[in-house]
Amino acid sequence: MIIVDKLCYLSKLRYVNPMEKFVFAMLTLIFCIVSRSIAIGILTIAVNSWLTIVRGGISAVRYRNLMMVPLAFLVLSTAAIIINISRQLLDAFAIPLGNWYLTGSFAGIAHGAQLIITALASVSCLYFLSFNTTMTDILSVLRKLHVPALMVELMLLIYRYIFVLLDVAYYISTSQNARLGHKDLKTSIKSFAAMVQALFVRAMKRSRNLYDAMESRGYDGEIKVLEESHPVSRRNICYIAIYETALLLFTLWFKCFR
């Protein structure tokens, strides 16, 4: 089982109404992107981390490790904005490299920090939703929002096949390791290529078998699944309304009065 999928089934917030969690995550994500404010980004990360760790019961160490993955990519991607190679010195720092300088400006550092925090806050919104809401609940919300049925069904089938292909890849990799299929780089590349080829063939066979099974059970172009009923909490709605209103006011202030 994928670690994210495992976490959402263990979360204490799993049985909270999924529409409430979806609206909270999406509105917060929109305000983070629109405002591009460092203050709102830090507030969003703090609130989402508190909800996921304290209220959701997910390990702080595991959450930190998962947040470090996008942070590493963000730091590397924004390095090009912060660091410049130029003959002219900029005001923040300058490291001589012969006749050139590895230099940067305070404006570039501020812009890079803004991008990193905004993107990380947006990731924390998606983490909150995915760590505390099962995929079936998310698809149920999308149906209620009248997302095209074809898109929802494709998401469901892709989600299902992730586990199928991971399971097949695990057994193939175990078999290759037992036969010294990864003893050196050249052998590892050949083994990986063979595994990809086998996965493609088995995926095609599984898809045909799945379609035949669906046809035999009366498939009429729409996949129907049982949905759990989660009560709506007025208290949660009030909290969400207050929090999102505060973010809206902060966003308007940052965009209009600064």
Model confidence pLDDT, tens digit, residues 117-155: 999 999 999 999 989 888 888 888 888 888 888 888 888
How far is it, in rounded angstroms, from Cα 146 to Cα 141?
9
Does an H or E element contain 110, and which? helix 106-132
How far is it, in rounded angstroms, from Cα 87 to Cα 101?
6
The arithmetic mean of pLDDT across residues 222-251, rounded, is: 84
The arithmetic mean of pLDDT across residues 41-63, rounded, is: 91
CB 45 within 8 A of CB 121: yes
HSE at residue 106, side-chain half, CA atoms within 13 A, is 2
Q: What is the pLDDT of residues 78-101, one digit of tens each?
A: 887 787 777 777 677 777 777 777
How far is it, in rounded angstroms, from Cα 47 to Cα 31?
14
Q: What is the pLDDT of residues 104-119, one digit of tens each?
A: 777 878 888 888 899 9
> Smallest Cα–Cα separation from 113: which of 3, 36, 19?
36
Q: What is the pLDDT of residues 224-238, one digit of tens each?
A: 776 777 888 889 899
Question: How many C-beta atoms surround the C-beta of residue 251 within 10 A?
Answer: 19
Q: What percent of the chain has pLDDT over 70?
A: 93
Joined together, the tokens standing for residue 39 give: 């203050």
> Smallest Cα–Cα separation from 29: which of 41, 11, 19, 39?
41
Identity at 183, one-letter amino acid code: K
pLDDT category, 258, cuts 50, 70, 90? low
CA distances from 246 to 19, 34, 127, 238, 250 (A): 20, 14, 21, 12, 6
Q: Which are the contacts of 112, defined by CB distance < 8 A and separation ≥ 6?
A: 78, 79, 81, 82
How far is it, in rounded angstroms, from Cα 27 to Cα 247?
9
